[in-house]
């Protein structure tokens, strides 16, 4: 079985995350897309609580029947290293042929990754172009130009609901509003 592994902070998940999973499935010839929210960021970035990011990611992806959202990194503990996650997935599912979905921005930072050579060996990258970060080994961007950083800023200000609703699935907005996430002055407001 060909499985695309799509990891990230998903802090919060937005429309480009959903479209990236759909694009990878449609263009990569995969049987499944495994979406893996990071448990603890390897570069030490502060994130919203894992359970909230996991729940929001499941809400964002729920309409995509080919997607499974996994909490595998919770059992692996901190920090979350992609190589460790891929080794674990290989051990659990030796019959899976893995590819790692990454953005072109990751290619520019691969030297910062723990054991990136092992990542490439375990799950050769399936690269998505990302607006603003062209790379010769990446296709042009096919996804809307939006980031979780921008979405968090919109959520903190709450002065442009139309733009916010353009980028965040309604079920995710309902969840984060109910939980009080990313409001001005909250611990989850404006992180990198």
pLDDT digits (tens, 9 = 90+) for 129-172: 777 666 667 777 778 888 888 898 888 888 888 989 999 999 99
Q: Is 49 helix (H, G, I), strand (E, B) or coil?
A: coil
Residue 114 is assigned to a structural domain of this protein: yes
CB 5 within 8 A of CB 49: no
Domain count of the fold of the chain: 1
DSSP alpha helices (H): ranges in the chain? 15-28, 50-61, 72-76, 82-92, 104-108, 116-122, 148-157, 161-167, 170-179
CB 7 within 8 A of CB 42: no
Residues of the chain with confidence (pLDDT) below 70: 43-44, 132-136, 184-192
- The whole domain housing 67 covers 2-143
pLDDT of residue 44: 65
Residue 120 is assigned to a structural domain of this protein: yes
Residue 22 is assigned to a structural domain of this protein: yes
CATH number of the CATH domain containing 17: 3.40.50.620
Angle at which helices 50-61 and 15-28 cross, to 10°: 60
Which residue has 């980028």 as its token pair?
A: 167
Whole-model pTM? 0.88
Helices then strands (H, E): number in the chain?
9, 5
């Amino acid at each position: 079985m060909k499985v695309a592994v799509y990891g990230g902070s998903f802090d919060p998940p937005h429309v480009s995350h959903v479209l990236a999973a759909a694009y990878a499935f449609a263009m990569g010839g995969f049987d499944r897309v495994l979406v893996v929210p990071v448990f603890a960021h390897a570069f030490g970035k502060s994130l919203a609580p894992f359970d909230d990011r996991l729940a929001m990611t499941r809400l964002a992806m729920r309409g995509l029947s080919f997607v499974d959202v996994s909490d595998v990194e919770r059992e692996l503990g901190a920090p979350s290293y992609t190589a460790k996650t891929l080794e674990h997935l290989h051990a659990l599912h030796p019959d899976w042929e893995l590819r790692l979905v990454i953005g072109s921005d990751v290619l520019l930072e691969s030297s910062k990754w723990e054991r990136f050579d092992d990542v490439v060996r375990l799950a050769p990258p399936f690269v998505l172009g990302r607006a603003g970060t062209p790379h010769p080994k990446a296709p042009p961007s096919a996804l809307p130009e939006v980031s979780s950083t921008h979405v968090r800023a919109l959520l903190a200000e709450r002065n442009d609901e139309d733009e916010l609703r353009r980028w965040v699935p309604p079920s995710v907005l309902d969840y984060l509003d109910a939980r009080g996430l990313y409001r001005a002055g909250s611990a989850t407001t404006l992180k990198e």
